[in-house]
Amino acid sequence: MNPVINSSELVAKLRTFLPSEAVLHETEDLRPYECDGLSAYRQAPMIVALPQTEDEVAEIIRICHAAKTPVVARGAGTGLSGGALPHAEGVLLSLAKLKRILEMDPAARTARVQPGVRNLAISEAAAPYGLYYAPDPSSQIACSIGGNVAENSGGVHCLKYGLTVHNILKLRVVTIDAEILEIGGESLDSPGYDLLALMTGSEGMLGIVTEVTVKLTPRPEKAQVVMAAFDDIRKAGDAVANVIGAGIIPAGMEMMDKITTRAVEEYVHAGYNLDAAAILLCESDGAAEEVAEEIQRIDEIMNMSGATETRTSRDEAERLRFWAGRKAAFPAAGRISPDYYCMDGTIPRKSLASVLSGIEALSAEYGLRCMNVFHAGDGNLHPLILYDANRPGELKMTEEFGAKILQMCIQAGGTITGEHGVGIEKINEMCSQFKTGELEIFHAVKAAFDPDGLLNPGKAVPTLRRCAEHGAMHVHQGKEKFAELPRF
């Protein structure tokens, strides 16, 4: 779609109601916005707009809609799939300035916040009432709740406490017609279709979220974690199944392989067993009596499943230290390699051993190291491929390696993305996971909200034509899966 307006006209229109510093268009001002957390993909937008109110958001959308100009929403820019990658001929709509906590309602256990509020800031504001916001993505210090809604973010506690979709009640959304919709409500359900679920994880393709009402959870009285070491990744996988089989839903259940353990131990000194093939962290939370009993059962199950060593956190400081390593997996990867590429497949847990050995084989084939961290409770696998972007061809090899991992996840009955989103990164893999008729439904959903396709065009759902080309290439050229298809 060709814009019917040029950049300077649009800047002028936006500056009729936005201060000039809230409308950026000079090259050097645009640079900080040219990528999100997936820095391998970069594109400067035509304009960056930084509204401060919902009315301003609606007015920007009204103008862009009339001018047929694409709009890409951005929160904190921590996303890992290029969902907030700008459009060269579009407006990048930053919601970072909408960062007020509008209302805390401790009696009803809800908080009403603007989209730019940081995930952790909600829990901090709720703490005086003994409450917190449960989903805790690793980036929770920085990531914003609007972005969490767009990606349906999870975290290490989501097996027990759910994803974003389970922890939000209501959204205010500006549609592409600049109309404001209230989706969901303060009750536990809403009349009509579940548009709240449809909006959650929709990657900025359906509307712009301007307000989120989240559910707050009572803070558990106590939390304790068991750290178990295994000499075989299969045994660790069995231990996870045995814990669940015993009727325990741990608050968190995370696995790291040997290369990850070594990388993070050097960084955080958590006291991990460096000879272990896999480390499992299994947390229990709740009433003190309950935790004491559950931790004992977990420890027994780990030992029964062949753990070579188990340790239980003795106090809060030790619990946090055990977790610190897991949470530091990404920065640790950054310390031992110039670049790393984080994958996000989900698999049925029973396929873990076979997928991991497949990854090991690919790692040897490509000559690229790969660290594996695993949300073991819910099957979400994050292989971190270590590479050096300065070596010619290594990024391309890394992407190929990653694409093959995702194919394995699909074949195992899983999915190409558990929590990072499709964005621009996994758009080709969508063609493998979904059939034409299913992609048509996705396009139909998009069209029901955004008939002109102006919101975040080119992301999340591939065009059928792109899939046809991608599929043809896959067949005819074998390995050249990522040949020079136009990306934008």
Partner 1 sequence: MQYIIDQLADSIRAAAGHKVPLCIRSGGSKDFYGNRIVGQADVLDPTAYAGIVDYEPTELVVTARAGTHLADLEAELNKHGQMLAFEPPHFGAAATLGGSVAVGLSGPRRASAGAARDFVLGVRMLDGRGDDLRFGGQVMKNVAGYDVSRLMTGSMGTLGLLLEVSLKVLPLPAMEITLRMPMKESDAIHRMNLWAGKPLSISATCFYDDELTLRLSGAEPAVRAAHAKLGGEEIDDGADFWKSVREQTHPFFQSGKTLWRLSIKSTALPLPLPGKQLIEWGGALRWWASDAGMDAEALHIMAKAASGHATLFRGQEVDATVFHPLAPGMMRIHRRLKEKFDPMGILNPGRMYPQS
- Identify which of 457, 411, 438 has the alpha carbon closest to the alpha carbon of residue 206: 457
Taking the complex as a whole, the smallest distance from the CB of residue 271 to partner 1 amounts, in Å, to: 29
Can you tell me whether residue 481 is helix, strand or coil?
coil
Task: Return the number of other C-beta atoms located less than 10 Å from residue 200's C-beta.
Answer: 24
Kindly state the tokens that stand for 58: 């609606």
* Residue 352 in contact with partner 1, rule: CB under 8 A: no
Angle between the N-to-C axes of helices 436-449 and 464-476, in degrees from 0 to 180, rounded to the nearest 10: 150
Taking the complex as a whole, the smallest distance from the CB of residue 267 to partner 1 amounts, in Å, to: 26
Q: Among 25-33, 354-362, 384-392, 434-442, which window interacts with partner 1 (CB under 8 A)?
A: 434-442
Eight-state DSSP code of residue 31: G
In sequence order, what E strands does 76-130 have?
Answer: 91-94, 101-105, 110-113
Candidates 421, 456, 470, 474: give the one binding partner 1 (CB under 8 A).
421
Compare residues 193 and 475 and give the one whose CB is closer to partner 1: 193
Torsion of CA 410, 196, 50, 148, to 10 degrees: -50
User: Which residues in the 328-347 window bind partner 1 by CB under 8 A?
Assistant: 346-347
Could you tell me if 152 and 32 are in contact, meaning their C-beta atoms sit under 8 angstroms apart? no
Distance between CA atoms of residues 419 and 403, nearest Å: 17
Taking the complex as a whole, the smallest distance from the CB of residue 132 to partner 1 amounts, in Å, to: 11
Candidates 42, 68, 97, 109: give the one binding partner 1 (CB under 8 A).
109
Taking the complex as a whole, the smallest distance from the CB of residue 300 to partner 1 amounts, in Å, to: 15
Compare residues 268 and 460 and give the one whose CB is closer to partner 1: 460
Taking the complex as a whole, the smallest distance from the CB of residue 378 to partner 1 amounts, in Å, to: 4
Site string for partner 1, 33-72 (x = CB under 8 A): ----------------------------------------
Compare residues 179 and 452 and give the one whose CB is closer to partner 1: 179
Contacts with partner 1: how many residues (CB under 8 A)?
95
Site string for partner 1, 178-207 (x = CB under 8 A): -xxxxx-xxxxxxxxxxx-xx-xxx---x-
> DSSP characters for 95-126?
-TT---EEEEETTTTEEEE-TTSBHHHHHHHH
Distance between CA atoms of residues 72 and 86, nearest Å: 6
Where would I find the H helices in 345-393?
352-366
Q: Name beta bridge partners: 252.
A: 283
Compare residues 273 and 380 and give the one whose CB is closer to partner 1: 380
Compare residues 36 and 339 and give the one whose CB is closer to partner 1: 36
Taking the complex as a whole, the smallest distance from the CB of residue 408 to partner 1 amounts, in Å, to: 14
Taking the complex as a whole, the smallest distance from the CB of residue 32 to partner 1 amounts, in Å, to: 26
Taking the complex as a whole, the smallest distance from the CB of residue 272 to partner 1 amounts, in Å, to: 25
Could you tell me if 370 and 383 are in contact, meaning their C-beta atoms sit under 8 angstroms apart? yes
> DSSP characters for 35-56?
--S-TTS----SEEE---SHHH
Could you tell me if 443 and 461 are in contact, meaning their C-beta atoms sit under 8 angstroms apart? yes
Task: Return the number of other C-beta atoms located less than 10 Å from residue 408's C-beta.
Answer: 20
Torsion of CA 283, 289, 295, 300, to 10 degrees: -160
User: Which residues in the 437-476 window bind partner 1 by CB under 8 A?
Assistant: 437-438, 441-442, 444-449, 460-461
Candidates 378, 388, 400, 469: give the one binding partner 1 (CB under 8 A).
378
Distance between CA atoms of residues 35 and 78, nearest Å: 9
Taking the complex as a whole, the smallest distance from the CB of residue 199 to partner 1 amounts, in Å, to: 9
Q: Among 16-24, 47-55, 216-224, 275-283, which window interacts with partner 1 (CB under 8 A)?
A: 216-224
User: Which residues in the 242-261 window bind partner 1 by CB under 8 A?
Assistant: 242, 244-245, 247-249
Compare residues 20 and 193 and give the one whose CB is closer to partner 1: 193
Distance between CA atoms of residues 432 and 467, nearest Å: 8
* Residue 430 in contact with partner 1, rule: CB under 8 A: yes
Compare residues 116 and 207 and give the one whose CB is closer to partner 1: 207
Q: Name beta bridge partners: 371.
A: 384
Compare residues 108 and 468 and give the one whose CB is closer to partner 1: 108
User: Which residues in the 217-246 window bind partner 1 by CB under 8 A?
Assistant: 218-221, 241-242, 244-245
User: Which residues in the 129-158 window bind partner 1 by CB under 8 A?
Assistant: 129-131, 151-152, 154, 158
Where would I find the H helices in 273-343?
288-304, 316-327, 329-336
Candidates 416, 424, 431, 454: give the one binding partner 1 (CB under 8 A).
416
Could you tell me if 128 and 224 are in contact, meaning their C-beta atoms sit under 8 angstroms apart? no
Candidates 337, 415, 428, 456: give the one binding partner 1 (CB under 8 A).
415
User: Which residues in the 270-299 window bind partner 1 by CB under 8 A?
Assistant: 286-290, 292-294
Compare residues 47 and 131 and give the one whose CB is closer to partner 1: 131
Distance between CA atoms of residues 77 and 86, nearest Å: 11
- Identify which of 427, 430, 433, 428 has the alpha carbon closest to the alpha carbon of residue 410: 433
